[in-house]
């Protein structure tokens, strides 16, 4: 039986996978799931409740207890997904610079990961989903129909994140942002639980020097051959 696809997108911080995954999902009429936002939500709640980032069992209990939901919102032709935790909109809070660091710390703990992976799999059960993160192809959805690893050079990723920070009014420098990204890459790829790595069966898309439209075009060419009749008119585009 044909069904709508499961598309897994992994890659390092600020590599462009978020924007591409969202736009791909919109084009297909699929659900978009940002798993990084879930780790960020746990980290943010931990900071807020003053739970130590070293207290693995308290963090696991927190991850298990939180009700994390995504809500698609359309405004002036722009689509974004807002993140709600226990009935509160935390979309802005989870993007704070301190949460960058805290999220990659809580993401090291197997118990935290297990709790979130269960929620992530439930979101993909029906298919018709584009899910992005660090371990989607390798751990969360190993049977995904399409597996992509989207990356860019560290310098370019730092420039993009720096620009986002600047626009958000955060005082920082390019060198600082680059050092933070390098540190997070290191922690994400060297941790024992589900380290970030390029999956053997994934296609690597390097967006260094490419704008979003060009990157999306590349990704679309990779995804299109997999579309089924269930994807209806979208597949013909
Ligand atoms: O947006 P950005 O690329 O900066 O990061 P993110 O995707 O929001 O993820 C934040 C952190 O969550 C990462 O640095 C990872 O430590 C962790 N993460 C993970 O371990 N596994 C995932 N599937 C997604 C995120």
Closest to 216 measured CA to CA, from 137, 120, 130, 126: 130
| CA-angle at 202, arms to 196 and 204, nearest 5° | 85
Q: Can you read off the two tokens belonging to residue 85?
A: 């935790």
110/39 Cα distance (integer angstroms): 12
User: Which ranges constitute the DSSP H helices of the chain?
Assistant: 17-28, 35-48, 56-65, 97-106, 110-124, 154-167, 174-190, 212-223
Distance 105 CA to ligand 1 centre (A): 10
> Phi and psi dihedrals of 69, rounded to 5?
-130, 155
The pLDDT, as a whole number, for residue 228 is: 82
The pLDDT, as a whole number, for residue 22 is: 97
The pLDDT, as a whole number, for residue 108 is: 95
The conformation of residue 197, written as its DSSP 8-state character, comes to -
DSSP-derived 3-state class of residue 50: coil
195/217 Cα distance (integer angstroms): 29
The pLDDT, as a whole number, for residue 32 is: 98
Domain range annotation of the chain: 6-224
Closest to 97 measured CA to CA, from 208, 181, 187, 23: 181
The pLDDT, as a whole number, for residue 97 is: 87
Tens digit of each residue's pLDDT (9 = 90 or more) over 118-141? 999 999 999 999 999 999 999 999
Tens digit of each residue's pLDDT (9 = 90 or more) over 168-205? 888 999 999 999 999 999 999 999 998 989 999 999 99
Distance 166 CA to ligand 1 centre (A): 20
Distance 164 CA to ligand 1 centre (A): 16
DSSP-derived 3-state class of residue 137: helix
Please give the model's pTM, rounded to 2 decimal places. 0.93
The architecture in CATH of the region 6-224 reads 3-Layer(aba) Sandwich (3.40)
Distance 215 CA to ligand 1 centre (A): 20
User: Which residue owns the Cα nearest ligand 1 atom 8?
Assistant: 36
State the closest ligand 1 atom to the C-alpha of 120, by its place in the atom list counted from 1.
23
State the closest ligand 1 atom to the C-alpha of 161, by its place in the atom list counted from 1.
4
Spans of the chain, pLDDT less than 70? 1-2, 232-237
The conformation of residue 228, written as its DSSP 8-state character, comes to -
Say if strands 88-89 and 78-85 run parallel, antiparallel, or are unpaired.
antiparallel
User: Which residue owns the Cα nearest ligand 1 atom 20?
Assistant: 107
State the closest ligand 1 atom to the C-alpha of 94, by its place in the atom list counted from 1.
8
154/17 Cα distance (integer angstroms): 14
73/46 Cα distance (integer angstroms): 26
Distance 11 CA to ligand 1 centre (A): 9
Q: Which residues line ligand 1 (CB under 6 A)?
A: 13-14, 18, 35-37, 39-40, 100, 103-104, 107, 133-136, 184, 188
Distance 68 CA to ligand 1 centre (A): 15
Mutation test residue for ligand 1: of 9, 36, 140, the one with most atoms within 8 Å of CB: 36
User: Which residue owns the Cα nearest ligand 1 atom 4?
Assistant: 13
The conformation of residue 224, written as its DSSP 8-state character, comes to G
């Amino acid at each position: 039986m044909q069904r709508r696809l499961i598309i897994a997108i992994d890659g390092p911080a600020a590599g462009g996978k978020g924007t591409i995954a969202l736009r791909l999902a919109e084009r297909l009429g699929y659900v978009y799931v940002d798993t990084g936002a879930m780790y960020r939500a746990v980290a943010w709640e931990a900071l807020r409740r003053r739970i130590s980032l070293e207290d693995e069992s308290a963090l696991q209990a927190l991850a298990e207890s939180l009700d994390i939901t995504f809500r698609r919102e359309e405004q002036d032709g722009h689509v974004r997904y807002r993140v709600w935790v226990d009935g509160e909109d935390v979309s802005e809070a989870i993007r704070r610079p301190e949460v960058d660091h805290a999220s990659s710390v809580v993401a090291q703990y197997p118990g935290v990961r297990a709790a979130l992976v269960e929620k992530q799999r439930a979101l993909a059960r029906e298919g018709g989903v584009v899910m992005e993160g660090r371990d989607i192809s390798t751990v969360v959805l190993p049977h995904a129909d399409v597996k992509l690893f989207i990356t860019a050079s560290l310098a370019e990723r730092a420039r993009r994140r720096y620009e986002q920070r600047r626009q958000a009014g955060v005082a920082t420098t390019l060198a600082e942002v680059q050092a933070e990204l390098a540190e997070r890459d290191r922690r994400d790829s060297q941790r024992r639980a589900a380290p970030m790595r390029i999956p053997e069966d994934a296609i690597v898309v390097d967006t260094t020097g490419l704008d979003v439209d060009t990157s999306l075009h590349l990704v679309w060419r990779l995804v299109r051959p997999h579309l089924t009749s269930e994807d209806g008119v979208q597949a013909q585009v």
